[in-house]
Amino acid sequence: MYARRRHAYFILMGACLTLFISAWGFVRLWSVPAAVVMCIVAMVIPPLAAIVANRRGPDDRWWDESGDEESDRWWRELDEYNHRR
């Protein structure tokens, strides 16, 4: 799951950079309004990329990474209880 989120993040950020660089690198020579629209689209992508990268998957347990054996045992019991329901 983590690799898929990271891959999606880099694709989105690559698209953002491509839009921004191409907008002011060569699109502005033909159409300034098109370059401005491309930059506005590029401006929206980073927050979306952050949301995609930090989205919690159904099996992720980001809040319990302490390594405490008692806590891990408790989470295993809770997971088993939820899967039985």
- Quick: pLDDT tens for 5-14: 889 999 999 9
Structure tokens at 39: 């930059």
Given a cut of 70, is residue 51 above it in pLDDT? yes
Given a cut of 80, is residue 17 above it in pLDDT? yes
Question: For the stretch 32-69, what's the b/e string if a residue is b when 16 or more beta carbons lie within 10 angstroms of its beta carbon?
Answer: eeebeebbeebeebeeebeebbeeeeeeeeeeeeeeee
In this predicted structure, what is the pLDDT of residue 33? 96
DSSP 55: P
Could you tell me the pTM of the whole model? 0.65
Residues whose CB is less than 8 angstroms from the CB of residue 5 and which lie 6 or more positions away in sequence, other chains included:
52, 53, 54, 55, 57
